[in-house]
Amino acid sequence: MRAFLASSIGVTCAAVLVLPLAVPAGAAPDTRTVPAESAGPAEPVDAPGSTQSLPMRTLPARSDRVTGEPTRAAAAPEQGLPEREVRSFSLVGVVWDDVNAELHGTVQVRTRATGTGDWSDWQDLETHNAEHGADPGTAERESGSVRGSTAPLWVGDSDGVAVRVRPEAPDPQDRTASPVPLPIGLRLELVDPGKDPQQLPATDAEAETEAASGPGTGTTAGAPSAAGAQAAADGGTTPLSPSVLLALGKAASEAQGEAEAGLAPGAQPYIGPRPRIITRKGWGADEKLRERTFVYTSTVKAAFIHHSATGNNYTCSQASSVLRGIYRYHVKSSGWRDIGYNFAVDKCGNIYEGRAGGVTRAVLGAHTLGFNTNTMGIAVLGTFTRSNPPAAAVNAVAKLTAWKLGLFGADPRGKTTLVSGGGNKYKKGKKARLNVISGHRDGFATECPGARLYKKLGSARTSSAKLQGRP
């Protein structure tokens, strides 16, 4: 990747309490700036978490060359850390100084489980992570705080770690080839996501009850319904904000979307039922970590589907912890303004609010390099290169896109034209004709969202359109 000239893609707005629920398709960006929340963001109880950042050092040279093997150009020295005891952590990643530098090689970690003291085998971290991030030339990308990084890996509660970073070996057929150096400033990031918030999300049974009752914003027991849900939908996090936005029926979702979009009476809005969404308060986001301001674009023309590449060794009860770990890694370790994804989905089909700014609004994310403008990014928590995604997760993607794309008039089975902000598949300024529901690899040459999840996107498009009521 290389730096690009700045381009205007969004508008920064201060945190808000009461704003329109949705920006109509094709509308101009919201340029209003309103005062920040006077009470400040509501913090989850006992959920701050922490990050240990450990600088790596050069490791002793390996002596594993087979006798009689042809002489080849020496590889660059390995870096890493030997086994050591550390404070408790559950998610691990590697970062380096220059966001534009690529890590050509492999990164592996071993971890020791808290309690049992058992060490894991060496586990690979996904090194090709540059395609996840803010677009070239944007304020977030050019802030000076953004670092290169691997994808993070969820390892569960651990208190010991070792890491090794092996550079790519030179071509053995070319004895004059120079060794490929590792990026400067390699650091091992150990993330403790903190404790779950005491206010737990509503159960599926509660969500179904709310959906069956018809219109209503839906909230958890004991929270003021209208003010709290409105603030959560608009992007504000206050003591009134619910932990969950409960599901709405199709009629209520369409009535709400039709009113906000200003459609003519009797016009078909094609908006799917709003699914149950666990808010940032529900999964315990520490709002002090992120930037206080929000950035919006004009509309939402497409959804890019990702896998988080954090591994599949988590339970659904741990999904909030995984999300808090990713959030902290994106902000504190990688230097982003907030978590990169607009939404996340776990293996049980639970849907989570991602980047702050309002679940109904066109929030500028940092998920698909070159195509963050006028799109949203949905990450399915897990790695689906060789593992099949659970049906519940694919169904959740269909439900979420039916509702959110419907708010902006987008057909899940259709195609749309996006303009690249710069990437390895489409140069800056290039127009790309893509599916409204696309995989990350459609906009950037990458493995994401994994071959197995990518194969399921066709059925997700069909289900999403059906939920919108399209013929």
pLDDT in tens, 93-151: 999 999 999 999 999 999 999 999 999 999 999 998 778 889 988 999 999 899 999 99
Whether 406 and 273 have beta carbons less than 8 Å apart is answered as no
**Contacts for 459 with CB less than 8 Å, ≥ 6 apart:** 394, 398
What are the tokens at 366? 């940092």
Q: Which residues of the chain fall below pLDDT 50? A: 1-46, 65-67, 69-71, 199-225
Give the predicted TM-score (pTM) of the model: 0.82
pLDDT for 210: 37
pLDDT for res 14: 40
**DSSP-assigned states of every residue in 366-418:** SSSTT--TTEEEEEESS--SSSPPPHHHHHHHHHHHHHHHHHTT--TTSEEEE
Alpha carbons 396 and 309: distance in angstroms, whole number: 18
- Tell me what pLDDT residue 227 has: 54
Of 303, 308, 334, give the one whose Cα is nearest residue 133.
334
Q: Please tell me the number of Cα atoms within 13 Å of 327 on its side-chain side.
A: 31
pLDDT computed for residue 42 by the predictor:
40
pLDDT of residue 24: 41
Please give the pLDDT value at position 178: 78
- Burial, 57: exposed, middle or buried (Cβ in 10 Å; 0-12, 13-18, 19+)? exposed
| H/E stretch holding 198 | none
In this predicted structure, what is the pLDDT of residue 61?
A: 81
**Spatial CA neighbour of 348 closest among 302, 307, 317:** 317
Q: What is the dihedral of CA 125, 131, 136, 138, to 10 degrees?
A: -80
Structure tokens at 13: 């707005």
pLDDT value for 394: 98
- Residue 318 gets which letter from DSSP? G
CA end-to-end distance (rounded Å), the chain: 43
